[in-house]
């Protein structure tokens, strides 16, 4: 972990938990991370849980995010949520282009770019997900995939916009499978992404951008992942649902 990039430990609750579950989670979680000043803590619950989550974290060093947003401000887009709506609800972050969104809901690099621009326009901090499928890795195409996702999803931002983006490298074969990328595999992928950032936005932007790792992060493997210079935090699915396991991840340095 590079000392000049504050780590971000982010939880993605996917489609789990009600508002009551959310309140119960934070009652347990907050005391466990009360002394964690070494990192930023973000939880991205389902949309309907955001008000309960925002209320629960008032006064704590924890911020709330959405798991997606639509790029229009408002309109006839049944089932969608806009940037101004998320911001008004108290969300500060938003996950964009998660592999489940790409796989099940038809997201593309083009829509990732639109959503990222919309998030930035409305003052939200985007966590943009990239990552290869198993067959792509096995075919030796990891670098090609990551470069294409960067080119299509992020290279269209201005330098000023890009400075407010966090990237999450999430190899699809490691998400929810219990199969974690080794710290070395994750580092290599992060280097590929950082090199693309350097080419497009310059060395300073590359040194500053935070790249999180996601894919079966658990209390048992977080320390070795976070020991990597290239890994600036984690995006955690399953293990963020329980207060004690996510707190152990947040407190990886102990």
Which residues are catalytic, by number?
Answer: 98, 170
Q: Which of 35, 10, 175 is nearest to 92 (CA)?
A: 10
Q: Pick one of 7, 119, 237, 249: the residue that binds ligand PEP (CB under 6 A).
A: 237
Record the tokens describing residue 13, joined without a space: 């609750």
Other Cβ atoms closer than 10 A to 166: 23
Q: Is 226 within 8 Å of 232 (Cβ atoms)?
A: no
Q: Which residue number is nearest to ligand PEP in terms of Cβ?
A: 237
State in angstroms the smallest separation of the CB of 249 from ligand PEP: 10
Q: Pick one of 176, 182, 227, 253: the residue that binds ligand PEP (CB under 6 A).
A: 176
Other Cβ atoms closer than 10 A to 53: 26
Site for ligand PEP contains 216 (CB under 6 A): yes
Q: Pick one of 41, 215, 221, 245: the residue that binds ligand PEP (CB under 6 A).
A: 215
State in angstroms the smallest separation of the CB of 189 from ligand PEP: 14
Alpha-carbon dihedral sign for residues 145, 127, 175, 51: negative
Cβ proximity to ligand PEP: between 12 and 68 the closer is: 12
Site for ligand PEP contains 12 (CB under 6 A): yes
Q: Which stretch binds ligand PEP (CB under 6 A): 53-61, 110-118, 154-162, 235-243?
A: 235-243
Query: How many Cα atoms within 13 Å fall on the side-chain side of residue 216?
Result: 14
């Amino acid at each position: 972990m590079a000392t000049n990039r504050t780590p971000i430990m982010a939880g993605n609750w996917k489609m789990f938990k009600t508002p009551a579950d959310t309140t119960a989670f934070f009652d347990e979680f907050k005391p466990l991370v009360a002394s964690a000043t070494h990192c930023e803590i973000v939880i991205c619950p389902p949309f309907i849980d955001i008000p309960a989550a925002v209320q629960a974290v008032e006064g704590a060093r924890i911020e709330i995010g959405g798991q997606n947003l639509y790029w229009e401000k408002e309109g006839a887009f049944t089932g969608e949520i806009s940037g101004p709506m998320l911001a008004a609800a108290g969300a500060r972050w938003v996950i964009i282009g998660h592999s489940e969104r790409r796989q099940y809901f038809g997201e593309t690099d083009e829509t990732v770019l639109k959503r990222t621009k919309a998030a930035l326009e409305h003052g939200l901090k985007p966590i943009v997900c990239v990552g290869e499928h198993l067959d792509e890795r096995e075919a030796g195409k990891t670098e090609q995939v990551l470069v294409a996702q960067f080119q299509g999803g992020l290279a269209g931002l201005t330098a000023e916009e890009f400075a407010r983006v966090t990237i999450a490298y999430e190899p699809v074969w490691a998400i929810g499978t219990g199969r974690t990328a080794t710290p070395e595999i994750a580092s290599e992928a992060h280097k590929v992404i950082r090199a693309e950032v350097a080419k497009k936005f310059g060395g300073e932007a590359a040194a500053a951008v935070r790249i999180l790792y996601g894919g079966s992060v658990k209390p048992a493997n977080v320390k070795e992942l976070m020991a990597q210079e290239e890994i600036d935090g984690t995006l955690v699915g399953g293990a963020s649902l329980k207060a004690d396991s996510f707190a152990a991840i947040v407190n990886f340095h102990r």
